[in-house]
Chains A and B, each alone.
Chain A
Amino acid sequence: MTLGNWFALLVALVVAAEVVRALRHRAVRQERWRRFFRLRTTSWGLGILTFLLAVALAAPLLAPFDPNRQLDIVHLTNRPPSSTFLLGTDPLSRDVWSRLVYGTRVSLGIGALGALVAVALGDGLPFAALVVAIGLTSWFGTSRLVRAEVLSLRQRDFVVAARALGAGSSRVIVRHVLPNAAAPIIVSAALGVGNVLLLEAALSFLGIGVPPPDASWGNMIADGMPSIYTAPWSTFFPGLAISLVVMSLNGVADGVRDALDPREAP
C-alpha cells in the first residue's frame, strides 16, 4: 500500500460520512427523510454503500497492484496480510486488496442490474424474457411479489374510488397503486441484490460466473477455496464484503420502507 492509496481510502471514507451527514441534516426539516433515518442501521447501511460506491469509482487510486497480475507465483502465494499486501495474497500470488477493490465494480454492477430487471419484469414482459431472467437471476420471487401486490391493490376501495372519480389508468397506477406497492417491492429488491451477489459467488465457484482473470467477490472466494485453511484471508475478505453489502441493503431498505409509509411516526 502506498501513501497515495491510504489517502484515497481516507477520502472515500470521508465522502461516505459526509454524504450521510448531509442527508441526515435534511432530515431535520423534511418528515420523509426523518422517517428514513428512524433506524440507526439505515445510516450505517447508507454509509457503507456510499463508501463502496466511492471505492468502485476510485479503484485505480486505491489499488496498489494490478488486480489480475500474478506478482510472483513462486514466492508470493498465500502471503498473510502485511503493510505491503494489506489483505494478503491469494494462491495465485495476486493482491487480495486490489482484487477486492476492483471486484467491487463487478459485484455491485451485477447486483444493481439484476434488481432493475426483476422489478421491471413484474409488470409484464413477454414470457420468454421472463424464463431467461429466472434462469439467469433467480428473480422470480420479486416479480411475483410485484404482481401479487398490484393485483391486491386493484381491489382496494380507494382504487375503485379513483376510477369512479374518472381517473385514467396512468393516474391510478402512478398515484394509487405504485406508492402503496413500493415498500414491499423495494425491500424485496434489496434482499434480491444480496441474493444476486450470492448467486454470482455460487456461479463463480462452479466456474461459470465472471470469467477469470477479472475479479469479482464471488470468484475470489472460488479461487481462495483450495487454500482456505492455510490462507483464509483470500476467502474471508470477499465473504465479509458480500455480507456487508447484504446487511447494508437491509438497513437502507428498512429506511425506504419507513420513508414511504406515513404511518411510521418519526
Chain B
Amino acid sequence: MTAPGSLLVEVRDLVKHYPGERSWFGLGAPRAPVRAVDGVSFTIASGRTLGLVGESGSGKTTVGRTMLRLQEPTSGKVLFEGNDVFGLDAARLRALRRKMQIVFQDPYSSLNPRMTVEETLREPLEIHRLNGAVSALLDEVGLDAAFAKRYPHELSGGQRQRVGIARALSVEPRFIVCDEPVSALDVSVQAQVLNLLADLQAKRRLTYLFIAHDLAVVRHIADDVAVMYLGKIVEHAPAAEIYAQPRHPYTTALLSAVPEPNPRASKQRIVLTGDMPSPAHPPPGCPFHPRCPHPKKSERCRTEPPPLRPITSGHLAACHYAAEPM
C-alpha cells in the first residue's frame, strides 16, 4: 500500500491520435489524424485530486479513458503504483482494474437500462469474486436499501449518479477517474454529489482525476489543476495558485468567462474571439495563438511552440510570456 502523499499515478508523454478517415469509400488518401491527446504528462500523489479542465475537444476525456486502457494509446506511458498499465497482459490488467475505476458524466447512459440496481452492483463482485454487500454500498452513497430492486429509469439523475459511484466503489479501488460526474446534474443535486465524492475520498483515502469543464466546480474538489487546450496541458499548478494568479492567457480567459452568481461582480470579462481549432489541424506554434488576447503576442507565438515549463516552483505554464501574465 502506498503511503499518503507518495506518487500513485504517473502519465508520461501520453499521445492518442485517431486515424483520419479515408475519403472515397476507403480508396482515397486518408485525412489528417485527429490529435486528441498530444503529449500529456502529469503525476498524482496518493490521496490527492487533480482537476483536469478543458472545453469540448480539448482531449481531457480521452486522457482519462486511455489511462484506464479503455482505449489503446498511440504512444506514451502510464504508471500505476510503478506498474506500466499499457504493458500488462489480460489477467494482470483485470487485476489492475480493481484498483482503477471510472465514474461517468451521463447518468442516463452509464447504467444498463435492463439491469436493476442490485444486478448492476453485484456484477463487479461476481467478476472479481468478492464478498460485498449491495446494501452496504448503497448505504455508503446515501441510498436506501430499497433502491436495490429498482431499474435506472425509476431513478432521478442524482440517484443514478450515486449508483454509478457505488459501482465504482464496489471493487474497492484506490484511484477513480471522475469524468464530468456532476455536469449533467442540477445545481442542488450537484452539490450533494460533490460533497459525497469529498466524503468518500476522506473515508476511503481515494485518489481522483477529476475531469471537468467547470472551473468553479473544480475549485471545490481539486488540490491541483491542469488546464488542457487542443490535446496539450497549457497550465498545471496547485489550485490555490492557479485561481489567484493564472499564468496562461487561456486560463485567464476561462476564469473570466465563468458567469458568477453575483450581480455586483465587476470583473473585466475577457471574451475570446473565434472557436477552438480542429484537433486534426492544430495551428503551428502555440496552439492558442489565433485566439490569444495577450498584449505581448508576437511572431514567436506563431512559429515556436512554447514548452510546458516551471514559472514558479510547482507552477507550470506553456506560454512564452508566462512570466508576465495578463
Contacts and interface: CB of A to CB of B under 8 A. Distances in A.
A associates with B: yes
Interface of A: 156-158, 160-168, 171, 175-176, 179-180, 260-263
B97 interface: yes
Nearest 4 interchain pairs by C-beta: A157-B110, A166-B97, A166-B94, A262-B151
Interface of B: 65, 68, 70, 93-95, 97-98, 100-102, 104-106, 109-115, 123-124, 127-128, 151, 153, 164, 167, 171
A166 B70 contact: no
A263 B150 CA distance: 11
Contacts of B102: 160-161, 164
B110 A166 contact: no
Contact of B113 (A160, A161, A263): A263
A163 B70 contact: yes
B114 A180 contact: yes
25 contacts: A157-B105, A157-B106, A158-B110, A158-B112, A160-B65, A161-B102, A161-B110, A161-B164, A162-B123, A163-B70, A164-B68, A164-B100, A164-B102, A165-B97, A165-B123, A165-B167, A166-B93, A166-B124, A166-B128, A167-B127, A175-B112, A180-B112, A180-B113, A180-B114, A263-B153
A176 B171 contact: no
A32 to B, nearest CB: 11
A79 B115 CA distance: 59
A171 B104 CA distance: 20
A165 B109 contact: no
A160 B94 CA distance: 14
Contacts of B65: 160
Interface of A is mostly: helix
A175 B153 contact: no
Contact of B153 (A158, A165, A176, A262): A262
Contact of B98 (A158, A166, A180): A166
Nearest to A167: B127
A157 B113 contact: no
A163 B71 CA distance: 11
A263 B151 contact: yes
A247 to B, nearest CB: 28
> Which of A164, A167, A168, A180 gathers most chain B CB within 10 Å?
A164
Contacts, number: 67
B139 to A, nearest CB: 20
Q: Which of A161, A162, A175, A263 has the most CB of B within 10 A?
A: A161
A166 B102 CA distance: 12
Contacts of A157: 104-106, 109-110
Contacts of A163: 70
Contacts of B127: 165-167, 171
A168 B126 CA distance: 12
Contacts of A164: 68, 70, 97, 100-102
B105 to A, nearest CB: 8
Interface centre among B65, B100, B101, B115 (most CB of A within 10 A): B115
Contact of B109 (A156, A166, A175, A260): A156
A108 to B, nearest CB: 30
Contact of B123 (A160, A167, A179): A167
A218 B115 CA distance: 43
A262 B124 contact: no
Contacts of B104: 157, 160-161
A175 B127 CA distance: 12
A262 B113 contact: yes
Contact of B111 (A158, A179, A260, A263): A158
B145 to A, nearest CB: 19
A179 B167 CA distance: 20
Nearest to A161: B110
Contacts of A168: 94
Given A161-B102, A164-B70, A262 B128 contact: no
A162 B70 CA distance: 10
Nearest to B179: A157
Given A163-B70, A164-B102, A165-B97, A261 B114 contact: yes
A161 B171 CA distance: 12
Given A157-B106, A163-B70, A263-B113, 13 more contacts: A156-B109, A160-B104, A161-B167, A162-B123, A164-B70, A165-B97, A165-B124, A165-B167, A166-B98, A166-B128, A260-B114, A262-B151, A263-B153
Nearest to A164: B102
A150 to B, nearest CB: 15
A175 B97 contact: no
